Every structure is written in C-alpha cells, then in structure tokens.
C-alpha cells in the first residue's frame, strides 16, 4: 500500500525529490499552508517501489559549472573536474519516467552503477581478455553455428555455471544439450515439454551456454505473451548476467529504450579503453573486438518483447540480425495466414527455438504449421503432410503413420511429461455439478425458447450468428445472470417486490442478492470459507472478465484479500501482483482471480494449492494451462482442482464435447 501523500515533483525529477507530506500532517496544518502546497502539485499515492532504482540505463559527464556534456554511457570517476550523472529507471515506473540523477545522490545504489559499468560497454570484457581472442575470432570467421567445433561433442559438454547458485535438473541438462546440438547442426527445433517442467529456465540456459561456451555474439530475441514478460526478465536476470532489455510500453517508453538501450556506440568503447590505459588518446581497439562489434553492434545480449510489440515494431525488428530467436507459447504462430506469424517469419534469425506445452491442441494441422515455420522447404504443403500422417478423410492415423511421424519428429521435437521426469505432489481434479437456482431456470428457459427456432432450423449459414449468440448467452447465464443485459435489474426488482409484499424493507441486501442469483455463487459461498479456514490459497479462473468483476465485489463484501490479472492488467503490475500473492502470508493472500487466457500462460503460482475453474474453455488445453499454474516444479503440496459445471444445461454439453479432445 502506498503512502498517502501530496507530491509536487518538478519536471525531470524523481519521486525521491518530490516534496510530500503525509495526509494527516497536511490536514493538521494551517489552511493557508495546505492551499499553498496544493497549488504546487496534485494528490497522488507514492508507491515505495517508485523510490527504488530498477536499473541505470545511461551516464554522462559534466563540469561543475557548465551544461552537461556528451553522453558517454560510462560512470565512476573520470578526468579531474568532471562529475557524473546517470539516467535511472525506477522500479514500478516506465522508461518515460526515467530521470537523470547525480552520482552523489545515488550513494546507496552503487550496485546498480557497478552493474551499469560492467554491462554497458557490452564488449568491455573483451578488452580485459575475458573472452579468448582466438576463439571469438575463429567463431566469427567460421560463419555460423555449423562450424562451432567447440560445441560439437555435446554429450561431453560441461554446461557453464549459472548465477545465484542456480542448477538444472538432469532432464533439463539433457534438454539444453539437445538444443545446443540442434544449434550446432543449424536445425531449428521445438521444446515441447509438458507445462510446469521449466521450459523458460531450459531455454535461457541454452542461450547462456551458446554465449559462454560457443562465444555466440548475439543478440538473442525472446518473444513471449505480455503476461509472462516480467517472469522471463526475472528468470534471465536470475540465471545469467546477460543484459536483457524489455522492449515494451508506450511509444514514449520505447523511444527512451531505443535511444539508450539499443545501439552500441563504438566511440564509447574507445573512450573507455583510453581511460583504462596510460594514454589520454583514444586507444585502437583489438581486431577481435571490432569484429565482434560488427557482428553485434547492439548493447543488449537479449531483447525481450511481446507478440503485440512484434507486430507494432515489425519494420524495425526485421533489420536486426538475431543470432537466435525463442518463441514462447509458440502455438500462437499456428495460424497460417495470421499477421503475427507473418511478422515472425520476416525476422532475420540465425536459429529458431519454439516453446510450447501443447504442440497439438485441436488437430494435426497445428503441428504442421509449427514445422512449416521452422523449415519451409521440408514441410511446404499442409495437405501433403495431412495425407501422409492422417487416415482416410482426416480419420485417425494407422500405427505405421504414427511411427512414421515419430521418426519425422525425433530430431525436431523434444517432449517429456511430468510423470516421466518429475515427482510432483498429487493433483486431484473434481468436477462439481451445480444446479441452477429457481430464478436462473426461469431466465434460462426464457432465453432458450426465444432462440430455439434458430437451433432447430437446420443450422443454415445465415443462422449461425444467432446460434452463436444463443450459446454465449446461455454460457453467461450459467455463470451468473448478471452477465446478461437487464437481468440484474430484473432480479433486484423481484427481490424488492417480494420483501415489500412480506412487509419488509425495500432495501436489498447486496451480498444476498449477488450470491442467491447464481448456483455457482451459492456453491462458492459455502466452499471458500471452508478453504480459508483450512489455510488454503486459491486460484479462480474464468473466461469472462465480468465474472471476475462480480467475484471482486463478493470478496470486498466478505473482506477477503485477493489479487487479479486479466487482459487489461498493465505489464508493470502483473509481476507485482504475482510477487505479492507468492510472498505474502495466508492472512494477506487468499485468492488470485485470473482470466483463463491472460493468466493461464507462463505464470508460476505454486503458493496456491487449490484452483477453481469457474467455467470451462472451448479448448481443453487452455484449462490444462490454467491448472499448471500451481501444479508444476516448486509445488510442495497436493493440489486440488475444482471444475464447476452447471448440470443439464448447454454448459454440460460444452464440457462433454471439450472432454473428448483431451
């Protein structure tokens, strides 16, 4: 919770420099003092993290009595008479909120300045001899991964040491060696491990192995869903010392990143070499350093973006020659004609790695789409692929076809299941059949009867929009009548009439109205107090953000602490909410509300041991993704999944149909 404050930071100043008074202090002050202060600024909440340095992104020198000089991207000392200031990005704020801070004002943040000095001239290590000149030059001269003899003996390859004492499990080491062998062979591939086995850590470790042992100059590109970018950034920073740049935010944010985090300036490195040596004249750079700059003139080792940013910045990203590209949740690329896939295929990448826990969600054509993305020459035609590996008329394949497909995928796809490589606590899935309330039944029949003609009319193409609308309205009604237009007012009016006819008040109890209107809410009203008493932490997933709104209203009335992530949650808030839920006590953290699509991918929430699927997805793989948020590596408790299904309704039909896809 932020401090209630009246703040007035001047333009270009951080919140550390903002003048602020606590609300109680201000209210106790003289009225004229309050008016004078309020005239200078606006009332805001200053979050504690806004005062914490996230990273130093640039540096420049200036003379004490003159205007700031040219940006050098260096810091700490310098010629006599020069002082330094640094461009600071603050935690929880965007790049456009970054401010220039003088070095003497950052005395408590020396580790960030030290990190900046270490990683900004990305090839400074070359000057100090950290990377063997001959090996780097040989690697660059050889012309690519196919000539990397130092990585050819993959089985004997000793993986590098990772930061913070992080270690891979044996099956994860096996996957890293498999990915490295594909890189050396120049073969794109798919890591298709089941959800929860650490695909993020394995792929990051692969890139770090290429960087440390293969002397691959980079840069690397990582594309992931928006909801997972914070997790990816943290994993890269935890496992490696790579300089990872998260390229996201508004146009103003991205402009700051482009200006200060993208291109590497050779003059900066020359200036550093001059300062490090005895001569005050710019030193001539070693040949292997200049060749490294030619291969990768970018300041970052890894660039992290969302699929949305890939579309927005396609023209700029296509100009960057990436040594390797990793696509998380790669089933997003399955649409053969999608703009996202086209943008990804237009990138200049030396090697491509796809990550997906669900290589096939609905049909074999989705697998072909990924194989075609990896190798268009080998898999040019979907019809030929389907004919080769599917039965007649798209029917089930024969055993010979299955074996042939396995042989085809043996070098391209690595997939392991949890039960094969990990010993995780048990997961129990319970289908809870829910009855409609009496009022819900009335509404259900009314909606259904008005549209039943469309359902019984033979399903002509012109009738499909009406039929889809009917299906959606019935699904919404099964969740809660208040999702349907006009039914909240109808329900409220009925309750008022019933109360007044009985001689009672016309005032409606909001909690009672919300709970009794829906069979699922009646069930949750009984289940959740029991789970809270047992000290359980709960994830609740729904397809509808309006359901999440109603549940938030209910939790507020019950005074239950909760967090929420849906498609509208800002990127900078997602990881904060995840951390709050993960690190808080049971009293502080009880429920996490998530939309199935936005919150069901790439998020680790092993602090929870219970998940409730308030409504099921058309695609059962999305529900499996949601369950895997808590049943994954790091889970120490048995996990219970409650799936709520309304009995004898369209929702039951949907569940039965989707179950056949498992």
Q: Of the residues 347, 381, 415, which one is the last residue of a structural domain? A: 415
Is 330 inside any structural domain? yes
Percent of the chain with pLDDT over 70: 78
Band of residue 284 on the pLDDT scale cut at 50, 70, 90:
very low
What is the end-to-end Cα distance of the chain in Å, rounded?
43
Residue 263 has pLDDT above 80, yes or no: no
Residue 659 has pLDDT above 70, yes or no: yes
Residue 1 has pLDDT above 60, yes or no: no
Question: Does 443 lie in the same domain as 398?
Answer: no
3-state secondary structure of 341: helix
Query: Two tokens at 424?
Result: 């995780």
Question: Does 357 lie in the same domain as 490?
Answer: no
Q: Which residue did the predictor score with more confidence, 155 or 113?
A: 113
Is 355 inside any structural domain? yes
Question: Does 384 lie in the same domain as 455?
Answer: no
User: What is the structure's pLDDT at 60?
Assistant: 86
Whether 237 and 304 have beta carbons less than 8 Å apart is answered as: no
Band of residue 451 on the pLDDT scale cut at 50, 70, 90:
low
Residue 110 has pLDDT above 50, yes or no: yes
Query: Two tokens at 473?
Result: 């309205």
Query: Two tokens at 591?
Result: 């429920």
Band of residue 24 on the pLDDT scale cut at 50, 70, 90:
low
Q: Which residue did the predictor score with more confidence, 577 or 267?
A: 577
Question: Does 406 lie in the same domain as 442?
Answer: no
Query: Two tokens at 145?
Result: 């991964």
Is 285 inside any structural domain? no
Q: How far apart are CA 351 and CA 357, in angstroms?
A: 20
Is 436 inside any structural domain? yes
Is 279 inside any structural domain? no
Question: Does 650 lie in the same domain as 531?
Answer: yes
Question: Does 592 lie in the same domain as 505?
Answer: yes
Question: Does 630 lie in the same domain as 502?
Answer: yes
Average pLDDT, stretch 416-438? 93
CATH at 469:
3.40.50.300
Residue the block writes with tokens 């179950």: 659
Q: Which of 120-124, 237-241, 616-620 has the lowest mean pLDDT?
A: 120-124
Band of residue 64 on the pLDDT scale cut at 50, 70, 90:
low
Domain of residue 524: give its range.
Answer: 427-659
Residue 482 has pLDDT above 80, yes or no: yes
Q: How far apart are CA 615 and CA 472, in angstroms?
A: 12
Residue 294 has pLDDT above 80, yes or no: no
User: What is the structure's pLDDT at 22?
Assistant: 52
User: What is the structure's pLDDT at 36?
Assistant: 55
Q: Which of 94-103, 386-395, 643-652 has the lowest mean pLDDT?
A: 386-395
Q: Of the residues 415, 447, 468, which one is the last residue of a structural domain? A: 415
Q: Around 152, how many Cα atoms within 13 Å sit in the side-chain half-sphere? A: 6
User: What is the structure's pLDDT at 247?
Assistant: 95
Residue 403 has pLDDT above 70, yes or no: yes
pLDDT per position as a tens digit, 365-389: 889 999 999 999 999 999 999 999 9
CATH at 228:
3.40.50.10810
User: What is the structure's pLDDT at 150?
Assistant: 62
User: What is the structure's pLDDT at 450?
Assistant: 75
List 63's β-bridge partners, or say none.
82
Question: Does 432 lie in the same domain as 385?
Answer: no
pTM of the predicted protein model: 0.79
Q: Which residue did the predictor score with more confidence, 328 or 153?
A: 328
Q: How far apart are CA 206 and CA 240, in angstroms?
A: 11
Alpha-carbon radius of gyration of the chain: 29
Question: Does 441 lie in the same domain as 351?
Answer: no
User: What is the structure's pLDDT at 625?
Assistant: 86
Question: Does 515 lie in the same domain as 368?
Answer: no
Residue 291 has pLDDT above 50, yes or no: no
Residue 84 belongs to what H/E stretch? Answer: strand 82-90
Question: Does 405 lie in the same domain as 454?
Answer: no
Q: Of the residues 415, 439, 462, which one is the last residue of a structural domain? A: 415
Is 137 inside any structural domain? no
Average pLDDT, stretch 518-532? 97
Specify the number of domains making up the chain: 2
User: What is the structure's pLDDT at 479?
Assistant: 97
Residue 266 has pLDDT above 80, yes or no: no
């Amino acid at each position: 919770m932020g401090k209630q404050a009246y703040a007035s930071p001047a333009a270009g100043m951080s919140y550390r420099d903002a003048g602020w008074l606590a609300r109680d202090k201000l209210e106790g002050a003289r009225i004229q003092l309050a008016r004078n202060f309020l005239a200078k600024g606006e009332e805001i909440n200053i979050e504690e993290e806004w005062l914490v340095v996230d990273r130093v992104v640039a540096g420049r020198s200036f003379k004490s009595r003159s205007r700031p000089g040219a940006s050098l991207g260096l810091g700490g000392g310098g010629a006599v008479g020069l002082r330094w200031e640094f461009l600071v990005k603050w935690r929880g704020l965007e790049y456009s909120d970054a401010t220039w801070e003088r070095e003497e004002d950052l005395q408590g943040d020396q580790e960030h300045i030290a990190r900046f000095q270490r990683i900004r001239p990305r090839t400074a290590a070359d000057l100090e001899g950290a990377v063997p000149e001959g090996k780097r030059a040989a690697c660059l001269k050889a012309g690519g991964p196919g000539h990397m003899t130092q990585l050819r003996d993959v089985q004997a390859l000793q993986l590098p040491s990772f930061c913070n004492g992080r270690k891979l499990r044996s099956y994860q080491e096996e996957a890293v060696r498999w990915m490295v062998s594909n890189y050396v062979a120049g073969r794109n591939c798919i890591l298709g491990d089941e959800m929860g086995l650490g695909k993020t850590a394995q792929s990051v470790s692969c890139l770090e192995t290429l960087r440390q042992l293969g002397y691959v100059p980079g840069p690397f590109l990582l594309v992931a869903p928006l909801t997972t970018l914070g997790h990816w950034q943290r994993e890269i920073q935890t496992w490696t010392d790579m300089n990872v740049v998260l390229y996201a935010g508004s146009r103003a944010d991205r402009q700051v990143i482009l200006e200060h985090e993208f291109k590497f300036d050779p003059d900066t490195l020359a200036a550093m070499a001059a300062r490090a040596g005895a001569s005050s004249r710019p030193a001539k750079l070693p040949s292997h350093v200049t060749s490294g700059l030619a291969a990768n003139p970018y300041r970052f080792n890894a660039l992290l973006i969302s699929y949305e940013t890939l579309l927005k910045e396609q023209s700029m990203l296509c100009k960057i020659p990436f040594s390797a590209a990793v696509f998380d949740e790669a089933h997003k690329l399955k649409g053969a004609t999608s703009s996202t896939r086209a943008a990804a295929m237009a990138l200049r990448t030396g090697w491509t790695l796809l990550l997906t826990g669900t290589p096939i969600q609905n049909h074999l054509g989705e697998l072909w789409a990924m194989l075609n993305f990896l190798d268009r020459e080998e898999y040019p035609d979907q019809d030929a692929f389907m004919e080769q590996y599917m039965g007649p008329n798209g029917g089930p394949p024969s055993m010979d076809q299955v074996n042939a497909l396995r042989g085809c995928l043996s070098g391209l796809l690595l997939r392991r299941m949890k039960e094969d490589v990990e010993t995780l606590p048990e997961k129990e899935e319970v289908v809870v059949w829910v009855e409609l309330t009496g009022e819900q039944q009335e509404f259900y029949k009314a909606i259904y009867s008005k549209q039943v003609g469309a359902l019984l009319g033979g399903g002509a193409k012109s009738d499909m929009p009406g039929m889809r609308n009917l299906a959606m309205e019935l699904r919404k009604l099964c969740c809660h009548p208040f999702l349907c237009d006009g039914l909240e007012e109808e329900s409220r009016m009925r309750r008022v009439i019933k109360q007044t006819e009985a001689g009672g008040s016309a005032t409606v109890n909001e909690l009672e109205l919300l709970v009794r209107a829906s069979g699922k809410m009646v069930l949750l009203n009984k289940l959740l107090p029991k789970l809270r008493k047992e000290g359980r932490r709960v994830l609740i997933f729904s397809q509808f953000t309006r359901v999440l709104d109603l549940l938030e209203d209910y939790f507020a009335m019950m005074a239950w602490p909760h967090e929420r992530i849906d498609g509208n949650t800002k990127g900078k808030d997602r990881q904060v909410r995840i951390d709050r839920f993960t690190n808080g006590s049971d009293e502080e953290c009880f429920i996490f509300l998530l939309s199935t699509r936005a919150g069901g991918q790439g998020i680790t929430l092993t602090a929870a041991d219970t998940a409730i699927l308030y409504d099921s997805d058309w695609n059962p793989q999305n529900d499996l993704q949601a369950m895997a948020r808590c049943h994954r590596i790091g889970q120490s408790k048995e996990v219970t999944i409650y799936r709520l299904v309304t009995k004898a309704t369209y929702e039951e039909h949907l569940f039965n149909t989707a179950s056949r896809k498992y």
